[in-house]
Structure 1
Amino acid sequence: MANPFEKRASEYRRDDEAFLPLVTPDPLITFFKKHADDGKLYDQLSVIIGAPGSGKTTIARLYQYATLKTLLQHESQTNFKPLVDTLTQCGAIKNREPVLLGGRVPLESEYRDFWEFPYPEDLKCKLMFALIQSRTVLSWISNLVSTGVALEQISIIPRGDAIAALAAIGGKDGISLFNKARAIEEQIYRISAALLPPSIDDIDDEAAAAYHPFDVIERFEIRIGEQKTVLRPLVIFDDAHSLHPEQFTAFRQWLARRELKISRWVLTRMDALSPADVLLAQGESNTKRPGLKNARELTVIWMQSQDDRFSKRKAFRKMAKGMATRYLRQMDVFSRRGIQDLTDFISTRPDTIAPSRLEALASSVDSIQQKNGISDARRKSLEELVADYLSSTGLEGEDVALAMLSILFHRYLKRIPQKGLFDHQDQDVEPNRPIKVDGGIADGAKVRLLHDFGRPYYYDIDALCDASSENAEQFLHLASTLVTQAETQLIREKPASLSSRVQNRLLREKAGQIYREWDFPHSQQVAVLAEGIAQQCVAKTLEGNASLGGGAGAGAFGIPQEEFDEIPKKYEELARILKFGAAYNAFVLVQNHSTKNRMWCQIELSGVLRVHFGLSQTRGGFLERTTDDLLSMLKSN
């Protein structure tokens, strides 16, 4: 079969049996459980925002009623218990039965066509809302019918104050409800599909009339024999970024009404948001956002949250490894050989540099010592610090030890007074601050070995996960190149194992390909900023004393927060560029980062860009810059 890593889970649409084994429960715990616990996930409008590939459509499909029923039917036959337990915690399942009647409605470009009609805005909204509601009702009923429920067994429980409006939606029983929804859909579809929009006078009164099932329906009731099941309807609007911006605003305001009893989710990319919404978002705790109103009206779920980024990275690693295992099991060439996990063929042992290059590295370190008059005793003490650290962490490699020693030499020289012409050159001077060795220095040493000697840096499963910037689709794209190589080796009757050197080469090639194939709004300007930031970060990272990020180097620009907050008002073009950079996995905007008694917004390069340009995946190190620096980079190209 084709390499499943080249697809997303949501693309496995043959049937739910093929889709469900690829779904991992971790994103539900990370992004949904908290909102389910506080009672907002199903009681008010939830706007779920994520970059392409963050898993929005996978979640939308999972929450459909038919998918939940399939999951529960196969729970005992497969390893679905963790997913069932998680959905139970998130309030979608109770006592091993769905409590939600979920239906997914994709908002394709067809809906945006309404905004191009030469009609008053009020009429355009009425037509769109009527079509959306009719298709939602059809989706709910279709989900029920696909699980074996007959139309005759379906009815609705209307809101107590909406009895009079029942006739407008067809009545309470499933047959009438279905027929009315189908008729409304056909009437409005004829309008949207016309080569020339009909005049207002020619529009069927019924199509533009008050068809408002969302205002009427409170619950669905299923009667099979003596058994009665009551379900809460959930509509999941996917790809809402396809709507016109003004249309999206009207759509969101319409759904945010408190009197609606149905659960409603809107899934969108950041494209649909204004630059201010994206650039000034303060994470989930912020209750007021321009354009997004406040938490009393809706719940906003950012699927790339800034909160507790260490834990989010750790959680994503777990999720990605589980996802990779699920995908790998779909490939016969691996399962026949008992290979069930990426770690079965991804080496964690680094390939060190060649002896001739090691000799050149040692010579350069000796030269630093001799040129700057560093005593043998001082060198020995620094070598002992390095040896103790490497021994305690299990790291290996004479090349890493020498590169770390080079950094310590430069740090030592920065911390002692400059020697005069007549000073004893072999005199040992104590530094004004103690010199310590930690993971940052080790990481910085490995980064410079990558640049100076081609030593592999991007290898093993954690490096693969971190390069994905907590984005599932990005992870699959990067993993696919490793899986394809291992598959080729197996087909040629060779071991599947990939050395660190091969992994490093393949991942950097793939990252470069992803970068070069960017094709989204303002992608050229985003690339200009990305390259400018990366070049300056590389230069700073490779400085002798590795001063930033604890030694690991820089991977971001830091703009003073108060200055960054003014960008949407003062620099509209720059705001749009940063918005699309964040929306398409080029940048991560880390707001309100405190350093040196000042708040900063970090414009952090994504994992893919760090791999392409050769930067550490360790977060935190940034270069202090201003808005003018960003504008200058754009003007020079």
Structure 2
Amino acid sequence: MSSKFRNPFKLRASEKIESEVGFLRLFSPHVLEALQEKHQKGELWENVLLIHSSPGGGKTSLLRAFEPASLITLLNTKSSSEYKDLFNALKKIEVISSNQVKLLGISLQCTRNYQVLEDLDVSEAQKKRLFFSLINSRVILATLRSACKLKGKRYPDDLKDFKFQYNNEDNFFKSLQVPCNGEELNNWASGIERQIYRLVDSFLPIDDLVIEGHDELISILTLNPKSLTLDGNPICSRMVFMFDDAHKLSFAQRASLKQYIFEKRGNHNIWISERLEALKPEENLGSFKERDFQVLNLENFWRNYPAKLSKILQNISDKRAAISTEEVTSFQEYLTENLNEENIKEKLTRILEETEKSLMQTSKYTNRFDDWVRYTKEYDGSLLDKALLMKEVEILINRNMGKPQLSLDFPLAVNELHEKMNSDVVNAAKLFMSINYELPYYYSFKTLVKLASFNIEQFLSFSAEMFEEMISKKIRGDEIVLSDSKQNSIIKRVADVKWKKIDTEVPYAENIQKFLKSFGAFSKQQTYKANAPYAPGVSGFSIKPNKERMFGEELWMTDKIYEPLIEVISTCVAYNLLEKQTVNQGKKGQVWDVYYLNRWLCVIFGLPLSYGGFRHKSPDELIKWIK
């Protein structure tokens, strides 16, 4: 099967990429830096790791890199320049060495109809025993399949070659004589799985069916490198049990699985990946306290290391463009990074005329800004530079007009103007100019990185449409480079599609869209004030206590009055519509949880893509945004 695709940017979920070669070609080694940091701190192995993200954060792709098929492919091609960086990254965390795969990665998908057990007419205790039995059977079967793959054996034909060395001192195996060989272990586990299938499909009472129920996750307790051997030798140095998509389990199943694992812990390696939507509202809104486990929130990790994320996304885009069948072998170089000034010459002229008229009007009432206005008129630069300068001066004049004057009405010197100019004022001027006069604003590869909001799939959703346009231009025989205006229109179109999808893909959609529209309108009103007080703009809020009730965070979150607000904010965080960040502001040591709009929502409301600007709002004020 070919490992090339027409538009590789449209490949999202790793499970849709069938071949290991195709998967590894698209997998960026820089993604592993999140695990390397855990490894350096001694927190990666002999531990429980919860891997959290919103949809598209890269959880499944990360786990797939640790499966035997991926690791064997890497070992066999370790000298290839295409895979060398990935091989070395895995070597650093002791997964692979120059001559062997040291880790047996055992992946269990939690999407395989576990929830049907909740529909059985049995007690909660019986449901839990059946759930644990099904987990045990599937973990054992997955382990045996992975062991065969790792050792180049055929499953199930060669299972007799493996030995399960366990003395059953805890009497976990009631209907299996242990020690035993791999085939016997496989038959035992398959039998339990079949029994549970028959129970689910049967009309008979459960008492009429004999099923071996389990109170323990015996699979995890008994499977380890010493207990599973081949030719008398351990099959690996280390095992990791990877539970993928745990959010697909029922609430009770997730709770019992995690509680058991947290309590038992031991020296097992257990990774559980789940979406933020599965967490309780207080976990999404409050602080996650790590105790007997580690948490890796993928979006939060990249938020702390934005430069690394930019490098990863560049690497991903290069890898994807390289395997296109349409021979558009690059991505970033075909994205214009600057405004085309010739195409907007008329609009720039209008900006200059209208802004100059506004400045002259101000000069009628005071001579304080005469030198500033004269400086802008005499400034020798391009139309774009002059228009931008005038907008900056207009903002600074509006700021000064709002301040009480303690001196006589003497003209302010030009050097005072330069002292007040900074990057925030420049960025606010660019925003005002672009949005008010419909100039391209959202374009360039840097903009795509910001639009990702630290989510790889979100980056691909915008990049795929950009790459599709590149392919179309190549087929037509046009220059492949995408102009600033074309990028701007594509980004706005993709953002509009995402907004419409909220209706069908997000719970509480009606209230959430009301809330986001109100939040967007508020942010726009704050951002576009003439004096740009929160330059370059506002796109976040923090929650302050209600004055009359003096509620702290913990108190208002337990008040039923605010349940609709809690549902909306926690769901927005879970689905990556709001990005939660901690910000130091105010008194020394004072920390605020700030909820920023996902960057694609900034496109919807015509806001800048930078972070920083936020306003304090009380629960009473916020709940009005839903009504």
TM-score by length of 1: 0.87
Runs of 4+ residues deviating >6 angstroms: 221-227, 430-434
- Decide which of 111, 115, 118 is 2:114's aligned counterpart: 111
Please state how far the C-alpha of 1:413 moved relative to its aligned partner. Answer: 2.5
For residues 319 and 64 of structure 2, the distance between their equivalents in structure 1, rounded to whole angstroms, comes to: 18
Asked if 1:581 corresponds to 2:572, the answer is yes
SS at match of 1:454: coil
- Decide which of 493, 500, 506 is 1:509's aligned counterpart: 493
SS at match of 1:39: coil
Please state how far the C-alpha of 1:505 moved relative to its aligned partner. Answer: 0.9
- Decide which of 400, 415, 422 is 1:412's aligned counterpart: 400
Render the CA deviation track for 1:309-332: whole Å, top value 9, x for unaligned. Answer: 4x5222111111111111111212
For residues 463 and 176 of structure 2, the distance between their equivalents in structure 1, rounded to whole angstroms, comes to: 49
SS at match of 1:617: coil
Please state how far the C-alpha of 1:482 moved relative to its aligned partner. Answer: 0.4
For residues 495 and 474 of structure 1, the distance between their equivalents in structure 2, rounded to whole angstroms, comes to: 27
Please state how far the C-alpha of 1:368 moved relative to its aligned partner. Answer: 2.9
For residues 65 and 218 of structure 1, the distance between their equivalents in structure 2, rounded to whole angstroms, comes to: 16
Matches within 5 A, 1:527-542: 527-542=513-528
Please state how far the C-alpha of 1:486 moved relative to its aligned partner. Answer: 0.7
Matches within 5 A, 1:356-435: 356-373=346-363, 374=367, 375-380=369-374, 397-415=385-403, 417=405, 427-429=410-412, 435=419
Matches within 5 A, 1:41-190: 41-108=44-111, 110-147=113-150, 148-149=152-153, 150-158=158-166, 162=169, 165=172, 171-172=178-179, 173-190=181-198
- Of the structure 1 ranges 214-223 and 580-589, higher mean CA displacement relative to structure 2 is found in 214-223
Counterpart AA for 1:182: S
Is the Cα–Cα contact under 8 Å of residues 523 and 581 in structure 1 kept in the other structure? Answer: no
Tell me the equivalent position of 1:331: 324
Render the CA deviation track for 1:27-69: whole Å, top value 9, x for unaligned. Answer: 221x222322333323122211110000001012111122211
Is the Cα–Cα contact under 8 Å of residues 302 and 308 in structure 2 kept in the other structure? Answer: no
Q: Call closer, same or farther: CA 1:16–1:114 in 2, change over 3 Å.
A: same
Please state how far the C-alpha of 1:565 moved relative to its aligned partner. Answer: 4.1
Is the Cα–Cα contact under 8 Å of residues 48 and 265 in structure 2 kept in the other structure? Answer: no
Is the Cα–Cα contact under 8 Å of residues 246 and 273 in structure 2 kept in the other structure? Answer: yes
Aligned residues with identical type, % of pairs: 22
Is the Cα–Cα contact under 8 Å of residues 382 and 408 in structure 1 kept in the other structure? Answer: no
Asked if 1:495 corresponds to 2:479, the answer is yes
For residues 626 and 209 of structure 1, the distance between their equivalents in structure 2, rounded to whole angstroms, comes to: 47
Tell me the equivalent position of 1:624: 616
SS at match of 1:281: coil
Tell me the equivalent position of 1:250: 256
Render the CA deviation track for 1:233-277: whole Å, top value 9, x for unaligned. Answer: 221111111122222111111122335443211110112211001
For residues 132 and 111 of structure 1, the distance between their equivalents in structure 2, rounded to whole angstroms, comes to: 9
SS at match of 2:489: helix
Please state how far the C-alpha of 1:481 moved relative to its aligned partner. Answer: 0.9
Asked if 1:633 corresponds to 2:625, the answer is yes
Q: Which runs of 5+ in 1 are unaligned?
A: 288-294
Render the CA deviation track for 1:456-514: whole Å, top value 9, x for unaligned. Answer: 11111110011110101101101011001111011111111100111011011101111
Please state how far the C-alpha of 1:593 moved relative to its aligned partner. Answer: 3.6
Q: Which runs of 5+ in 2 are unaligned?
A: 546-550
Q: Call closer, same or farther: CA 1:451–1:579 in 2, change over 3 Å.
A: same
Counterpart AA for 1:575: I
Is the Cα–Cα contact under 8 Å of residues 69 and 98 in structure 1 kept in the other structure? Answer: yes
Is the Cα–Cα contact under 8 Å of residues 412 and 431 in structure 1 kept in the other structure? Answer: no
SS at match of 1:633: coil
Render the CA deviation track for 1:276-304: whole Å, top value 9, x for unaligned. Answer: 0110025xxx43xxxxxxx2x22122122
Counterpart AA for 1:340: T
For residues 161 and 629 of structure 1, the distance between their equivalents in structure 2, rounded to whole angstroms, comes to: 61
Render the CA deviation track for 1:182-202: whole Å, top value 9, x for unaligned. Answer: 11111112223x164x42312
- Decide which of 446, 458, 475 is 2:430's aligned counterpart: 446
Is the Cα–Cα contact under 8 Å of residues 47 and 265 in structure 2 kept in the other structure? Answer: no
Counterpart AA for 1:627: P
For residues 345 and 432 of structure 1, the distance between their equivalents in structure 2, rounded to whole angstroms, comes to: 40
Counterpart AA for 1:280: G
Counterpart AA for 2:315: G
For residues 179 and 187 of structure 1, the distance between their equivalents in structure 2, rounded to whole angstroms, comes to: 12
Counterpart AA for 2:461: H
Counterpart AA for 1:527: Q
For residues 71 and 248 of structure 2, the distance between their equivalents in structure 1, rounded to whole angstroms, comes to: 27
Is the Cα–Cα contact under 8 Å of residues 9 and 22 in structure 1 kept in the other structure? Answer: no
Counterpart AA for 1:543: K
Render the CA deviation track for 1:599-620: whole Å, top value 9, x for unaligned. Answer: 4321200011012221111100
Matches within 5 A, 1:293-332: 295=291, 297-305=292-300, 309=303, 311-332=304-325
Is the Cα–Cα contact under 8 Å of residues 347 and 498 in structure 1 kept in the other structure? Answer: yes
Please state how far the C-alpha of 1:403 moved relative to its aligned partner. Answer: 2.2
Q: How large is the Cα RMSD of the aligned pairs?
A: 3.0
- Of the structure 1 ranges 352-361 and 66-75, higher mean CA displacement relative to structure 2 is found in 352-361
Is the Cα–Cα contact under 8 Å of residues 140 and 233 in structure 1 kept in the other structure? Answer: no
Please state how far the C-alpha of 1:623 moved relative to its aligned partner. Answer: 2.2
Please state how far the C-alpha of 1:229 moved relative to its aligned partner. Answer: 4.1
Asked if 1:271 corresponds to 2:265, the answer is no
For residues 554 and 30 of structure 2, the distance between their equivalents in structure 1, rounded to whole angstroms, comes to: 33
Counterpart AA for 1:316: L
Counterpart AA for 1:537: S
TM-score by length of 2: 0.88
For residues 226 and 250 of structure 1, the distance between their equivalents in structure 2, rounded to whole angstroms, comes to: 36
Please state how far the C-alpha of 1:451 moved relative to its aligned partner. Answer: 1.5
Asked if 1:233 corresponds to 2:233, the answer is no
Tell me the equivalent position of 2:335: 346
Render the CA deviation track for 1:319-373: whole Å, top value 9, x for unaligned. Answer: 1111111111121212xxxx43312211112134733322321222222322222
Please state how far the C-alpha of 1:308 moved relative to its aligned partner. Answer: 8.3
Please state how far the C-alpha of 1:573 moved relative to its aligned partner. Answer: 2.4
Is the Cα–Cα contact under 8 Å of residues 71 and 84 in structure 1 kept in the other structure? Answer: yes
Tell me the equivalent position of 2:31: 27
Please state how far the C-alpha of 1:170 moved relative to its aligned partner. Answer: 5.4
For residues 218 and 244 of structure 1, the distance between their equivalents in structure 2, rounded to whole angstroms, comes to: 28
Please state how far the C-alpha of 1:23 moved relative to its aligned partner. Answer: 0.5
Tell me the equivalent position of 2:447: 463
Tell me how many residue pairs correspond in the alignment. Answer: 601
Q: Call closer, same or farther: CA 1:595–1:203 in 2, change over 3 Å.
A: farther
